[in-house]
């Protein structure tokens, strides 16, 4: 390698490094997701879980565990896999503590999402006990997603949302945006 | 690949460091060339095999080793190819998607390896600086591994950063080069060639009820296209010129036994390659046509078929519903909601040995057993042997069932009527409206309370207004009588086809036609709650990625008493 080429490479790397670290600093100050505290009144509808069992929604919400809710559907191609991979990774990283957290995914495509499909979906993500996926009648599902301000008329334009609920404090935290597991763990910590 | 997102500190460090090998490659052109021509992934195998392996990585996220791809998304979430294959977001055609606010750009062969065209208000603007240079093998590998595009832009963290060895990367890139690289067959002289497959077992009256509106649509559309070609509106461009495309519709008539259909289809297609099959009709199983579509990768949009292929994974045929199978499925789902049915008593189905009987019982059994219940007792009823009250009673006495399911035609109605005199009558009789047909209305008043009917359509009183809409839209002035349902299906075929043609947006790939339907492109709000309820016949008519049966529901109803019975809903449209 000639000295000239080496010098060119060094200058390039230096400039690129400066460019990247500049971007890092900029990114660190940017808001990654929107976090708000909400008051929701959730109707106590009966939905159906991945095992075909009928479940009163309030029985899951008020199990004394911190609850995380998201809205997905089994054939969703873009944002649901990210939300679900995050739930799966969250369970994994929390280890034994995962038993103290109730994860709930609610289908926004109940026409297609049968309990059998929900079960297959959870299996694909290696879901552990404590993560339930619910479907049900369109009327009941709509009642819930409207109460939780997650309604969109078109399933293809649904929202990247995670809602956290602390039954002891009776408060909801709404996370708008796709986040990593580290952020989810931080948010969980704030609910305790 | 997705653009615009925040960065986590650690990922940025990793990315900054990871650029070193990329820069090394870019600064030493001879090294870059070496990478582009290296053949460790594709060496020693045929081009066909290399494409097959690349396609498997793209579609299933499975490497030639049989292991899934591994990657990270959102900075710190490890994911597997089982859930994060390229196809999820970039779709089968590679044309990308827009879902949940995330824009996934195209990654097909025709797009990746040249700078993207820049558009402003639908018009290509050549003076605008391009968003990125053309990808090379090396820069594409960097994008897949590190999420950096050739202009140095960092992609969104939702784009997985794949951990791939060079040999696997080569296979994937080899596949991407041919993915939607050239427009599909069936396109010539600004004309989409389409065909409708009709078997000769369909009476002319029914055939015409479908073909008439389709041919009329093609005629009207071509007239509009001709006008548009003469007076192109200002601002027309590649992105909008689909409305200038003509359609041609051939009728592929299938003769003789179904075993010969495949070779007839291949011959038709050899003579006239088509972009897609539209509609179609037979009273027999659709399987030979389904397999033709699947193996030749030709979309088939909404054939009128009572016996579709039931598959969770096949891709190319989009059906109205699962036909008779769906009624069997509905019966099983309904029984599953009744506590008494889940106790120890038997569930018995009497099944006529006919295509209808087999499809209904398959739908019932597979769904019932899929929910963890035991196999139902099945009594076969040979063709030609009449169902009698005596036979029903004998079966009921022997099995003492909670539910007696009768998958038979209209001649079963008198036998069901004989149950009135039984001491140990089952709690519930289940029949199919589709198979029982007009026999349904002949059920005696006294058996109507306990005879549950699978009804896979919107109830008649709610459906009335859709009949008016269809008649006026298709220009039908007389009562279509027995062909009403076919006319309604023709109306839906036209709507879906028209939207899909708009949705492919100048990208004339067969897979893109299905992707457009899956993703609800091409119409204002197709796939929305409001739109789904505007189709005739079915309570809801919805699509979604990979969903191949548009109507997913089936009511369970009973008949009210009297000479003009009403249907009384006993279940939701979709039963959970």
Which member of A32, A158, A179 has the closest CB to residue B100?
Answer: A158
CA distance B179 to B488: 36
B208 and B235 in one domain? yes
B46 and B158 in one domain? yes
Q: How far is CA B532 from CA B56, B66, B515, B535, B551, in A?
A: 33, 40, 18, 6, 10
Using the 3D structure, point to which of B178, B212, B230 is the last residue of a domain: B178
Q: Which two tokens stand for residue B410?
A: 């209209």
User: Closest chain B residue to A136 measured between Cα atoms?
Assistant: B576
The torsion angle over the Cα atoms of residues B32, B37, B43 and B49, rounded to 10 degrees, is 100
Which member of A78, A136, A159 has the closest CB to residue B97?
Answer: A78
Residues 6+ apart with CB under 8 A from B114: B134
B147 and B271 in one domain? no
In chain B, residues with a C-beta closer than 8 Å to the C-beta of A114 are 333, 576
Residues 6+ apart with CB under 8 A from A54: A46, A47, A48
In chain B, residues with a C-beta closer than 8 Å to the C-beta of A19 are 152
In chain B, residues with a C-beta closer than 8 Å to the C-beta of A24 are 7, 9, 12-13, 16
Which member of A76, A85, A137 has the closest CB to residue B545?
Answer: A76
pLDDT value of residue A130: 96
For residue range A41-56, what is the model confidence (pLDDT) as tens digits?
999 999 999 999 999 9
For residue range A118-142, what is the model confidence (pLDDT) as tens digits?
999 999 999 999 999 999 999 999 9
| Burial track B10-47 (b if 16+ CB lie within 10 A, e otherwise) | ebbeebbebbeebeebbeeeeebeeeeeeeebbeeeee
B133 and B44 in one domain? yes
User: Closest chain B residue to A183 measured between Cα atoms?
Assistant: B76
Residue ranges of alpha helices (H) inside B279-323 are 287-296
Angle at B90 between CA B85 and CA B94, to 5 degrees: 115
CA distance B83 to B76: 16
pLDDT value of residue B28: 38
What are φ and ψ of residue B71, in 5° steps? -160, 175
Contact A130/A103 with Cβ under 8 angstroms? Answer: yes
pLDDT value of residue B425: 87
CA distance B557 to A30: 57
In chain A, residues with a C-beta closer than 8 Å to the C-beta of B158 are 78-79, 82, 178
Displacement of CA B159 from its chain's centroid (Å): 26
B304 and B271 in one domain? yes
Q: How far is CA B251 from CA B199, B284, B320, in A?
A: 10, 18, 20
Contact B311/B291 with Cβ under 8 angstroms? Answer: no
B123 and B71 in one domain? yes
In chain B, residues with a C-beta closer than 8 Å to the C-beta of A124 are 82-83
Indicate whether this model's pTM tops 0.90. Answer: no
Contact B107/B124 with Cβ under 8 angstroms? Answer: no
What angle, rounded to 10 degrees, do the helices at B324-335 and B355-370 form? 40
In chain B, residues with a C-beta closer than 8 Å to the C-beta of A138 are 540, 572-574
The torsion angle over the Cα atoms of residues B482, B487, B492 and B493, rounded to 10 degrees, is 110
**With an 8 Å Cβ cutoff, are A86 and B77 in contact?**
yes
The DSSP 8-state label assigned to residue B563 in this structure reads: S
Q: How many DSSP H helices and E strands does chain B contain?
A: 19, 22
CA distance B8 to chain A (A): 7
Domain membership flag for residue B345? yes
CA distance B169 to B175: 10
CB-count exposure of residue B223 (10 Å: 0-12, 13-18, 19+):
exposed
CA distance B141 to B36: 10
CA distance B42 to chain A (A): 29
Domain membership flag for residue B3? no
User: Closest chain B residue to A8 measured between Cα atoms?
Assistant: B27
Residue position matching structure tokens 């006319």: B487
| First-last CA distance in chain A | 59
Using the 3D structure, point to which of B160, B178, B196 is the last residue of a domain: B178
**With an 8 Å Cβ cutoff, are B552 and A111 in contact?**
yes
Domain membership flag for residue B551? no
B406 and B513 in one domain? no
pLDDT value of residue B392: 94
Class of domain A34-191 as given by CATH: alpha beta
**A10: how many CB neighbours lie within 10 A of its CB?**
10
What is the complex's ipTM, to 2 decimals? 0.86
CA distance B196 to B486: 14
- For chain B, the domain total comes to 3
What angle, rounded to 10 degrees, do the helices at B460-474 and B484-503 form? 60
- Where chain B has pLDDT below 50, the residues are 3-38, 238-240, 524-528
Task: State the residue range of the domain holding B470.
Answer: 187-323+460-545
Which member of B16, B73, B552 has the closest CB to residue A82?
Answer: B73
Using the 3D structure, point to which of B157, B178, B199 is the last residue of a domain: B178
Look at residue A3 and tell me whether its pLDDT is greater than 70: no
CB-count exposure of residue A129 (10 Å: 0-12, 13-18, 19+):
exposed
What are φ and ψ of residue A166, in 5° steps? -110, 110
Return the domain boundaries, chain A: 1-30, 34-191
**With an 8 Å Cβ cutoff, are B7 and A27 in contact?**
yes
User: Closest chain B residue to A33 measured between Cα atoms?
Assistant: B6
pLDDT value of residue B490: 97
What are φ and ψ of residue B139, in 5° steps? -70, -25
Residues 6+ apart with CB under 8 A from B432: B324, B327, B328, B331, B356, B360, B407, B453, B454
B249 and B195 in one domain? yes
**With an 8 Å Cβ cutoff, are A181 and B76 in contact?**
yes
Q: How far is CA B152 from CA A9, A86, A150, B164, B318, in A?
A: 17, 27, 36, 20, 41
B130 and B46 in one domain? yes
Domain membership flag for residue B576? no
pLDDT value of residue B524: 46
CATH number at residue B345: 3.40.50.2300
B90 and B60 in one domain? yes
CA distance B543 to B433: 25
SS3 state of residue A125: coil
Which member of B75, B88, B540 has the closest CB to residue A111?
Answer: B540
For residue range B139-198, what is the model confidence (pLDDT) as tens digits?
999 999 999 999 999 999 999 999 999 999 999 999 999 999 999 999 987 899 999 999
Contact B516/B504 with Cβ under 8 angstroms? Answer: yes
3-state secondary structure A162-176: EEEEECCCCEEEEEE
In chain B, residues with a C-beta closer than 8 Å to the C-beta of A9 are 23-24, 27
SS3 state of residue B61: coil
**With an 8 Å Cβ cutoff, are A85 and B519 in contact?**
no
B470 and B435 in one domain? no
B490 and B375 in one domain? no
């Amino acid at each position: 390698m000639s000295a000239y080429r080496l010098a060119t490479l060094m200058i390039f790397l230096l400039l690129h490094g400066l460019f990247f670290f500049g971007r890092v600093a900029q990114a660190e100050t940017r808001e990654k997701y929107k976090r708000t505290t909400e008051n929701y009144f959730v109707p106590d509808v009966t939905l159906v879980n991945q095992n075909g069992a009928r479940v009163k929604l309030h029985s899951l919400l008020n199990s004394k565990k911190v609850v995380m809710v998201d809205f997905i559907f089994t054939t969703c191609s873009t944002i649901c896999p990210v939300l679900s991979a995050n739930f799966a990774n969250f369970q994994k990283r929390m280890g034994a503590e995962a038993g103290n957290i109730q994860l709930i995914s609610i289908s926004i495509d109940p026409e297609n999402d049968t309990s059998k499909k929900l079960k297959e979906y959870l299996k694909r993500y290696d879901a552990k006990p404590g993560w339930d996926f619910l479907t049900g009648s369109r009327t009941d599902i709509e009642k819930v997603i409207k109460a939780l301000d997650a309604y969109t008329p078109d399933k293809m334009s649904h929202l990247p949302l995670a809602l956290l609920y602390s039954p002891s404090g009776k408060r909801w935290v709404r996370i708008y945006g796709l986040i990593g597991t580290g952020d989810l763990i931080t948010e969980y910590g704030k609910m305790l | 690949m997705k653009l615009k997102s925040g960065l986590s500190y650690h990922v940025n460090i990793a990315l900054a460091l990871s650029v070193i090998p990329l820069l090394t490659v870019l600064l030493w052109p001879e090294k870059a060339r070496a990478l582009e021509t290296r053949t460790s992934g594709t060496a020693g195998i045929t081009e066909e095999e290399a494409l097959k392996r690349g396609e498997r990585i793209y579609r299933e996220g499975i490497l030639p080793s049989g292991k899934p791809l591994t990657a990270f998304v959102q900075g710190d979430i490890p994911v597997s190819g089982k859930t994060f294959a390229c196809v999820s977001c970039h779709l089968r055609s590679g044309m990308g998607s827009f879902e949940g606010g995330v824009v996934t750009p195209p990654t097909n062969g025709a797009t990746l390896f040249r700078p993207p065209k820049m558009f402003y208000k639908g018009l290509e603007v050549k003076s605008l600086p391009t968003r990125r240079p053309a990808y090379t093998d090396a820069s594409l590998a960097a994008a897949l591994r590190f999420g950096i595009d050739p202009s140095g832009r960092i992609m969104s963290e939702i784009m997985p950063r794949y951990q791939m060895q060079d040999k696997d990367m080569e296979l994937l890139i080899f596949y991407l080069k041919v993915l939607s690289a050239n427009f599909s067959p069936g396109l010539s002289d600004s004309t989409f060639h389409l065909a409708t497959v009709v078997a000769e077992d369909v009476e002319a009256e029914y055939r015409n009820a479908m073909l008439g509106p389709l041919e009329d649509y093609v005629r009207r559309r071509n007239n509009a296209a001709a006008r548009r070609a003469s007076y192109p509106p200002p601002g027309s461009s590649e992105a909008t010129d689909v409305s200038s495309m003509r359609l041609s519709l051939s009728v592929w008539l299938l003769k003789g036994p179904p075993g010969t259909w495949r070779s007839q289809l291949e011959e038709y297609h050899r003579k006239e390659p088509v972009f897609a099959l539209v509609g179609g009709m037979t009273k027999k199983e659709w399987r030979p046509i389904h397999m033709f579509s699947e193996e030749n990768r030709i979309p088939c949009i909404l054939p009128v078929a009572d016996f579709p292929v039931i598959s969770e994974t096949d891709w190319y045929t989009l059906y109205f519903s699962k036909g008779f199978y769906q009624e069997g499925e509905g019966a099983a789902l309904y029984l599953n909601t009744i506590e008494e049915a889940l106790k120890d008593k038997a569930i018995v189905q009497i099944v006529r040995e006919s295509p209808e009987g087999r499809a209904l019982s398959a739908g019932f059994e597979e769904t019932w057993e899929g929910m963890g219940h035991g196999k139902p007792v099945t009594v076969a009823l040979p063709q030609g042997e009449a169902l009698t009250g005596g036979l029903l009673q004998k079966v009921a006495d022997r099995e003492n069932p909670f539910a007696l399911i009768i998958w038979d035609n209209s001649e079963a109605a008198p036998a069901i009527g004989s149950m009135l005199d039984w001491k140990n009558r089952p709690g519930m009789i289940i029949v199919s409206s589709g198979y029982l047909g007009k026999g349904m209305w002949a059920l005696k008043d006294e058996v109507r309370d306990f005879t549950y009917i699978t009804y896979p359509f919107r109830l008649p009183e709610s459906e009335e207004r859709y009949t008016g809409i269809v008649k006026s839209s298709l220009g039908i002035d007389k009562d279509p009588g027995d062909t009403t349902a076919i006319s309604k299906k023709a109306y839906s075929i036209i709507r879906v086809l028209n939207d899909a043609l708009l949705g492919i947006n100048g990208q004339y790939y067969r897979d893109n036609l299905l992707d457009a339907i899956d993703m609800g492109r091409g119409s204002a709000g197709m796939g929305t709650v409001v739109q789904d309820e505007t189709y005739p016949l079915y309570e809801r008519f919805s699509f979604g990625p990979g969903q191949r049966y548009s109507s997913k529901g089936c009511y369970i109803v009973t008949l009210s008493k009297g000479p003009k019975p009403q249907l009384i809903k006993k279940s939701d449209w979709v039963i959970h």
